[in-house]
């Protein structure tokens, strides 16, 4: 049987992180170890059949050698990382073909204990089902159907299930019990793989969510960055027009911030920006939007807020900021803020309302800072 290995890219292995390649190698080794153990279990049962006189003593070592040699070959290929060059790094089609061939061969050579090999064919496909594609499944089933047809219809060799003596019945009982047990172990292994994939999927979603958050947030202050706050402004303008509700925008600037950086140093200035942002977040509504507009300038969007309420809100923030114990960051440091508050007009764009808020901010500075001007 031929299976499509199929290279996904010319250099698949170079595109995957080392930890992913290592994890895939561990999973391959786990599967191959289970296959090897399964061959040894079958060989042990064949020895019991041989002691019972149901088959030749040569069958067990011959069967075990064939199975373990095939497993050893695939382990060597896996350890050499040859598998990572191919899309199907488990070599499902190839392993299924060889295992199926071994089973069919020994059904023909030792039909008197053929029930064991027939049961093992079920295990071959149970292992294959862990990673088979629909195409590989159809090819494998077709090959098995052809092989079994030849054995059952084109051969007159009777396929036996020894039950003539107590020892034979014991061995046959072991065949069925251990096939069921191995099938359950493979099922549990499959469940663990699915659980592992599920956990990795959750971790990836959380990582993507974190990346999206980092892309939206200002790294220093934790507030929205300029791109995100501008996007929020566009959305709030559109929403305000649809719902016909008022919306206010405040441009906030920390007074004399360059002097703070020059006198106390940039690390202290960074701490002041962080403390300011935390203070604002703690004193605004969940529907309000707050972001860093640039440098020491911040933009506050107040949806569903009238002009009087907007002025009171921003002035309250000014009072809170001015009353903070800034000396906890650096002795003799004091921080105040100025702000310009503009109300959204019918024909406003983001640029026009920001331009008005900026003019009002400069008026606040011209009037002596530490104040809020609105219009």
- The CATH number for 346's domain is 3.30.70.270
pLDDT digit string, tens, across residues 77-88: 888 888 777 777
Write down which residue in 151, 186, 213 finishes a domain. Answer: 213
Q: Are residues 84 and 193 in the same domain?
A: yes
- Give the count of beta carbons closer than 10 Å to the beta carbon of residue 217: 16
In a domain, 3, yes or no: no
In terms of pLDDT, which residue wins out, 18 or 261?
261
Q: Are residues 27 and 156 in the same domain?
A: yes
211: confidence class by pLDDT, cuts 50, 70, 90 = low
Write down which residue in 213, 235, 251 finishes a domain. Answer: 213
**Measured between alpha carbons, how far is 78 from 158 in angstroms, rounded to an integer?**
39
pLDDT digit string, tens, across residues 295-324: 899 999 999 999 999 999 999 999 999 999
Would you state the pLDDT for residue 81?
A: 81
| pLDDT higher than threshold 90 for residue 199 | no
The residue segments making up the domain with residue 105 are: 12-213
Q: Are residues 154 and 238 in the same domain?
A: no
Would you state the pLDDT for residue 52?
A: 94
In a domain, 220, yes or no: no
Angle at CA 195, nearest 5°, toward 193 and 198?
Answer: 110
Looking up tokens 């003596």, which residue turns up?
165
Q: Which residues pair with 302 in a beta bridge?
A: 248
Q: Are residues 174 and 231 in the same domain?
A: no
Q: How far is CA 78 from CA 88, 102, 237, 276, in A?
A: 12, 21, 59, 57
Q: Are residues 178 and 265 in the same domain?
A: no
**Measured between alpha carbons, how far is 218 from 208 in angstroms, rounded to an integer?**
17
Q: Are residues 154 and 205 in the same domain?
A: yes
In a domain, 250, yes or no: yes
| pLDDT higher than threshold 60 for residue 15 | no
Write down which residue in 162, 181, 213 finishes a domain. Answer: 213
In a domain, 254, yes or no: yes
In a domain, 26, yes or no: yes
In terms of pLDDT, which residue wins out, 13 or 21?
21
Q: Are residues 18 and 43 in the same domain?
A: yes
Question: For residue 294, how many C-alpha atoms fall within 13 Å in the half-sphere facing its CB?
Answer: 4
pLDDT digit string, tens, across residues 345-359: 999 999 999 999 999
Would you state the pLDDT for residue 16?
A: 56
Q: Are residues 65 and 203 in the same domain?
A: yes
Angle of helix 134-153 relative to helix 114-128, nearest 10 degrees, comes to: 170
| pLDDT higher than threshold 70 for residue 108 | yes
In a domain, 7, yes or no: no
Q: What is the pTM of this model?
A: 0.54
| pLDDT higher than threshold 80 for residue 203 | no
Q: Are residues 252 and 361 in the same domain?
A: yes
CB-count burial class (<10 Å; 0-12, 13-18, 19+) for 137: middle
Looking up tokens 């399964």, which residue turns up?
38
| pLDDT higher than threshold 90 for residue 284 | yes
**Measured between alpha carbons, how far is 271 from 269 in angstroms, rounded to an integer?**
5
Pairing of strands 337-343, 297-303: unpaired
pLDDT digit string, tens, across residues 54-74: 999 999 999 999 999 999 998
Task: Give the ranges where 131-256 is alpha helix by DSSP (H).
Answer: 134-153, 166-216, 226-243
In a domain, 219, yes or no: no
DSSP for 282-313 reads: HTS-TT-EEEEEETTEEEEEEET--HHHHHHH
CB-count burial class (<10 Å; 0-12, 13-18, 19+) for 328: exposed
Q: Measured on CA atoms in the order 225, 226, 228, 232, is the torsion positive or negative? A: positive
Closest CA to 289 of 374, 231, 243: 231
Q: Are residues 233 and 346 in the same domain?
A: yes
Would you state the pLDDT for residue 157?
A: 83
In a domain, 323, yes or no: yes
Q: Are residues 63 and 204 in the same domain?
A: yes
Q: Are residues 309 and 352 in the same domain?
A: yes
Cβ contact 135:96 at 8 Å: no
Sequence-distant contacts of 109-114: CB under 8 A, at least 24 apart: 109/59, 110/55, 110/56, 110/59, 111/157, 111/158, 111/159, 111/160, 112/54, 112/55, 112/158, 112/160, 112/162, 113/46, 113/49, 113/54, 113/55, 113/59, 113/160, 113/162, 114/159, 114/160, 114/161
Closest CA to 111 of 177, 57, 58, 162: 162
| pLDDT higher than threshold 50 for residue 12 | no
Would you state the pLDDT for residue 214?
A: 61
Q: How far is CA 245 from CA 208, 224, 236, 291, in A?
A: 34, 23, 10, 22
| pLDDT, averaged across the chain | 88
Structural domain total, the chain: 2
4: confidence class by pLDDT, cuts 50, 70, 90 = very low
DSSP for residue 111:
G
**Measured between alpha carbons, how far is 246 from 234 in angstroms, rounded to an integer?**
14
């Amino acid at each position: 049987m031929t299976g499509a290995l199929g290279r996904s890219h010319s250099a698949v292995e170079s595109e995957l992180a080392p930890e992913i390649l290592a994890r895939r190698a561990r999973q391959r080794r786990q599967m191959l170890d289970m296959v090897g153990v399964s061959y040894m279990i079958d060989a042990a049962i064949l020895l019991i059949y041989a002691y019972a006189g149901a088959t030749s003593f040569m069958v067990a070592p011959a069967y075990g050698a064939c199975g373990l040699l095939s497993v050893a070959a695939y382990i060597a290929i896996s350890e050499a990382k040859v598998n990572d060059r191919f899309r199907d790094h488990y070599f499902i089609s190839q392993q299924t073909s060889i295992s199926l061939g071994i089973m069919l061969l020994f059904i023909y050579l030792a039909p008197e204990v053929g029930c064991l090999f027939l049961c093992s064919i079920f295990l071959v496909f149970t292992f294959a089902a862990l990673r088979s594609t629909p195409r590989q499944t159809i090819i494998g089933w077709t090959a098995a159907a052809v092989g079994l047809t030849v054995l059952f219809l084109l051969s007159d060799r009777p396929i036996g299930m020894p039950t003539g003596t107590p020892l034979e019945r014991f061995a046959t009982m072991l065949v069925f019990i251990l096939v069921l047990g191995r099938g359950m172990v493979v099922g549990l292994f499959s469940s663990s793989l699915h659980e592992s994939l599920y956990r990795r999927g959750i971790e990836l979603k959380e990582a993507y969510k974190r990346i999206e958050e980092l892309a939206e947030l200002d790294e220093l202050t934790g507030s929205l960055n300029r791109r995100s706050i501008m996007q929020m402004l566009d959305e709030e303008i559109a929403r305000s027009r649809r719902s016909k509700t008022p919306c206010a925008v405040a441009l906030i600037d920390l007074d004399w911030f360059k002097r703070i950086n020059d006198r106390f140093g940039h690390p202290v200035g960074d701490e002041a920006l962080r403390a300011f942002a935390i203070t604002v977040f703690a004193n605004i509504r969940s529907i309000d939007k707050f972001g860093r507009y640039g440098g020491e300038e911040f933009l506050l969007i107040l949806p569903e807020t009238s002009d009087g309420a907007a002025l009171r809100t921003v002035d309250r923030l000014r009072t809170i900021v001015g009353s903070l114990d800034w000396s906890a960051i650096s002795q003799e440091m004091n921080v105040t803020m100025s702000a310009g508050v503009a109300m959204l007009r019918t024909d406003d764009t983001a640029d026009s309302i920001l331009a008005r808020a900026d003019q009002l901010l400069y008026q606040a500075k011209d009037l002596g800072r530490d104040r809020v001007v609105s219009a």
